[in-house]
Amino acid sequence: MKLALSTALLASAALAGCYVVPMQPATSVPGPTVVLPMAPPAPVTFAARLYPANDLAATYGMVSAVVNNDLNGRGYFSTNIGGESFAGEATRVAGSQRDGLANGTGNRGGFISCRYTMNTPTLGTGNCRLNNGAAFTMHVGS
């Protein structure tokens, strides 16, 4: 029995100086993931052209306009027709991703009203009418 006890003591003494070394280094635990909000899309500016559609509009010829679209279903436009500066807002028709209305007032008391359909986010067609009855067809985009 003494022999068994001394063998056990010698074995445990010999193993006391040993330790286990992992075969592969520990992998680092990834830190927390940071999610940054996306920047809102920048507004888009593009041209619109109004072509005469009746005799009253023919006296003005082709008219250029500028449209600033905020990409949230709303935009702002400005144009000069017959020496009067018009400015207004364009919005999409409720429930539609393509159809919209635009209305603007002039610096001399006139007004313009337009209906349009966007075929792509920056290309569309429509019709505009001045308060004096001049009618135009409208092409939006380049």
Architecture of domain 44-140: Beta Barrel (2.40)
Mean pLDDT, rounded, of the chain: 83
Q: Are 136 and 127 in contact (CB under 8 A)?
A: yes
Q: Sorting pLDDT into bands at 50, 70 and 90, what band is 1?
A: low
Residue 18 has pLDDT above 60, yes or no: no
Q: Side-chain half-sphere of 139: how many Cα atoms within 13 Å?
A: 8
d(CA 48, CA 100): 14
d(CA 2, CA 77): 104
pTM of the model: 0.69
Q: Check residue 100 and give its pLDDT.
A: 92
Residue 30 has pLDDT above 70, yes or no: no
At 60-115, the pLDDT tens digits run 999 999 998 887 778 899 999 999 999 999 998 989 989 999 999 999 999 999 99
Domain boundaries, the chain: 44-140
